[in-house]
Amino acid sequence: MDTAKRQIDQLRKELNKHNYNYYVLNQPTISDYDFDMKMKELERLEQAHPEFDDPYSPTHRVGSDISKGFVQWVHKRSMLSLSNTYSISEVEDFIRRVNEGLMGEPFQIVGEMKYDGTSISLTYEHGRLVRAVTRGDGTQGDVVTDNVITIRSIPLQLQGEGWPDEFEIRGEIVLPWNAFDRLNAEREFNEEPLFANPRNAAAGTLKLQNSAEVARRGLDAVFYYLLGDNLPADNHYDNMMAARSWGFKIAPVMSLMTTIKEVDEFIEYWDVKRKELPMATDGLVFKINSLRQQLNLGFTAKSPRWATAYKFQAERALTKLKFVSFEVGRTGVVTPVANLEPVLLSGTIVKRASLHNEDIIRQLDIHEDDMLYVEKGGEIIPKITGVDMAQRQPGSNIVEFVKACPVCGTKLVRMEGEAAWMCPNKFGCAPQISGRIEHFVGRRMMNIDGIGEEMAVILYKNGWVCDPADLYELDRHRESMLKLQGMGPRTIERMLEGIKASKQVPFDRVLYALSIPYLGETSSKKVARSLRNIDAVISADVDTLCAIEDIGPRIAQSIIDYFNNPVNRVIVDRLRNAGLQMAMPESAQSGQGNLFAGKSIVISGTFSMHSRDEYKEMIERYGGKNVGSVSKKTDFILAGENMGPSKLEKAKSLGVQLIDEETFLSMLSNNACTFKIEVQKFR
Ligand code: IVH
């Protein structure tokens, strides 16, 4: 076969695999830089050999963030990407090309930061936000208006004057560093997988179905592109300034330049200074300022000729793999960790990096004693992105995943369709036992003061607490605990007080605290609220469990397996006897609780008297169901200020009632349904 064809096929295969790792698995095994280089090489080969063109080549894809569950919207003006480069000389080439394209006419360049989040297009009509759509595949994206409305910096109604009747403004939804750190700290605490970088966190958050959770996470947005007829100015810079006066948060760094020297200085300055910005950036963007000149320069199929992006090189280091250790978590999942010769990377010493699972080790093809590339870039968690093959020791062995649990020696099992290997020895494997105790006492579970990770291990190692029920008999060990160095009477008193107080923790959190595999915080709430007490949960079959919102066959089977195990049943009985809450309170079941029985209620907009979460609680406490989207089955919408335009439209077309905050609260206080609902009807 033709060598070029073989190279093209090979590159397409590799790039497709990397796209999958990145977009689907969220576990890239290659640096962005290497990925871009491979893409460029493929583009070059395809250009030289148009006879091998294929519409399915990765060069024809702009990547898609379309997900199920959102309404699709075709962009009125397609969302293109930017050509990008990693070298200053290529930025200079861009400027020279522009110069040629404009046939020597003078031009201004606007330098901006390239914000590292997820792009969004907002449409405004008559000064009001009507729609927020993700980039999707560039032609159509997801309508995420309800989530975008929760971002406080986005104006729903414009201020000032001079905006066109209809326009689009594009920008980046970002999760600022402080919100990102907070979110990851919380996820670490709850043993949920961490987000590798603010970009993934922002994109994941924007696609959540629960806009209250979106609001809680603290997204922000910066805008950098105004599109429409009748824009206020004939240049990009002034248009952005006008947008700023209408209430938009405009990219804070915008510099007007005219010479290559200024561009070089801009790059040099921001390559360093960007680290002080409150949000992640992955490069710089250079745009020609005049809209007329932009029009003259035009577009290629994928990107404008009037703009380019200069990407920062992710900081990368090469270091030796000392060994791979295998660590066992609370759920028994075994995680491989690369232990490295310490290396300085972006200001911190890196000694360890997770390799996630066996598949990743295979894809990276890691051998013993290999020299590994570690990268941080915008990432907080260091990741291994490759092996320096030139330095591989001849005859070195491939790193094998352990077959048995490194702690207790039990043979590992791998569930069908899952990447993780698990130790099945739930009740005899130390990190699983102490991990479950640690989870049980955690803040979002039983919230027991005075017991953290270290204390959980101490209590377990001394044989005082081997399962959560032992905590409620801890008093018996007071004397022996006092003998342990560092355990003063105050420490012990604080723990015992915390344990006592936890008996008031509601049933849904007790259920979550049990560490039933796959049963997370939200699904525990759903099960508890639906089945009401522990006996109903114990006796529920798959069908009953699957009938509960958000509970699928995997969680259902896991709940059944958990309660089929006699050891767990004894623990639960002992917890019940200790006085823990094993049922939802009466008030949540009947009496006042019937007000919204069987009703489907949507919450939309912003509220002044209570938070969305509080309204959700109220609906559920009174027997109703809070649902995310408006349908024929919706009984009414609890409508706050600035309700999502798509929901409003849908409510209108289906004739669903809107009830405002005050009316809703008066319904609750009148309770016995003697109130008259003030409704706005649309039909
Ligand atoms: S301008 C027609 N300006 O980078 C191009 N994009 O690869 C309009 N981005 O999809 C985009 N910061 O998500 C522009 N200051 C900036 C940007 C920026 C980040 C993102 C944006 C776009 C991608 C292009």
User: Which of 83, 223, 224 has the most ligand 1 atoms within 8 A of CB, as the residue to mutate?
Assistant: 224
| Rounded (10°) angle between helices 177-189 and 198-206 | 80
| Helix (DSSP H) and strand (DSSP E) numbers for the chain | 25, 22
- Predicted confidence band at 284 (pLDDT cuts at 50, 70, 90)? very high
Residues 81-117: tens digit of each pLDDT: 999 999 999 999 999 999 999 999 999 999 999 999 9
Q: What angle do CA 550, 556, 557 make, to 5 degrees?
A: 150
Q: Is the dihedral of CA 568, 573, 577, 580 positive or negative?
A: positive
10 Å Cβ neighbour count for 245?
15
8 Å CB contact between 634 and 647: no
The residue assigned the tokens 């680290």 is 275
For the chain, the first-to-last Cα distance in angstroms comes to: 67
8 Å CB contact between 638 and 628: no
**Structure confidence at residue 175 (pLDDT):** 95
Q: How far is the CA of 497 from the centre of ligand 1 (A)?
A: 54
pLDDT tops 60 at residue 595: yes
Q: Is 17 a catalytic residue?
A: no
Token duo for residue 401: 């995943």
**Structure confidence at residue 585 (pLDDT):** 83
Residues 531-579: tens digit of each pLDDT: 999 999 999 999 999 998 878 888 999 999 999 999 999 999 999 999 9
Q: Which atom of ligand 1 is nearest to the CA of 114?
A: 12
DSSP assignment of 18-37: HHIIIIISS--SS-HHHHHH
The mean of the pLDDT values for the chain is 88
Task: Cite the DSSP H helix spans in 149-290.
Answer: 177-189, 198-206, 211-217, 236-245, 260-273
The residue assigned the tokens 């099992």 is 413
pLDDT tops 80 at residue 672: no
Q: Which residues contact 298 (CB under 8 A, 6 or more apart)?
A: 304, 305, 306
Residues flanking ligand 1, CB < 6 Å = 80-82, 112, 114-115, 119, 135, 172, 224-225, 251, 285, 304, 307, 309
**Structure confidence at residue 631 (pLDDT):** 85
Q: How far is the CA of 299 from the centre of ligand 1 (A)?
A: 15
8 Å CB contact between 307 and 287: yes
CA distance 245 to 670: 46
Residues 141-164: tens digit of each pLDDT: 999 998 898 888 898 889 889 999
Token duo for residue 293: 């000149």
8 Å CB contact between 266 and 284: yes
Main-chain dihedrals φ then ψ at residue 531, nearest 5 degrees: -95, -15
Which among 13, 38, 40, 114 is annotated as catalytic? 114
Identify which has the larger pLDDT, 35 or 409.
Answer: 409
Residues 24-44: tens digit of each pLDDT: 455 678 887 888 889 889 989
